[in-house]
Amino acid sequence: MAHPVAGSDYPGSYGELLAWFAEDEACLDYLDWLRWPQGWRCPACACERGWQLTSARRECAGCGHQSSVTAGTIFHRTRTPLTVWFAAAWQLTSQKHGISALGLKRVLGLGSYQTAWAMLHRYRAALVAPWWVPKSQRLSSEATRCTAGIETCAGSSPAESTVFLWV
């Protein structure tokens, strides 16, 4: 699998982000492309036939199951426009030390601190690997006899990222 390329697979600048994702429809199309790169499949029966109900919902022709491109993601049941979510992702990942909820509220002009905090909370929860356990909660190596894991310190580019293996 080839590495994603800025400008063709994802925006290379904030200006490109605003141009690519000026409306929610464009965001939904991008999520659709990411979620189902070989085309839509019903999550219930794996049928490839179905039809579009709304911009984000589809119904399976085989079993009648309805699904959404945002179902099961951090965007599930959000009332905040996806354009704002995408801009928040850019702000979170493009700054060396991330962004605070108050900073995000100010930059994006969000109505409340709680909205900014909830968005960042969902993004940060999604960025943590499901198997990761904080050091304070890890068992000692004598108790487990064999403990191994990987910790990643992400930089602004893959070349700047650092991976630590602990045993």
Domain boundaries, the chain: 14-127, 135-166
pTM: 0.73
DSSP structural state of residue 4: P
Using the predicted structure, report yes or no on whether residue 101 has a pLDDT greater than 80: yes
> Residue 56 has what pLDDT?
79
Q: What is the mean pLDDT of residues 45-51?
A: 93
Tell me the H-state helices in the chain.
14-20, 24-35, 82-94, 101-108, 113-127, 141-144
> Residue 150 has what pLDDT?
41
Strand order of the β-sheet with 57-60 is 50-52, 57-60, 66-68
Q: What is the mean pLDDT of residues 32-42?
A: 90
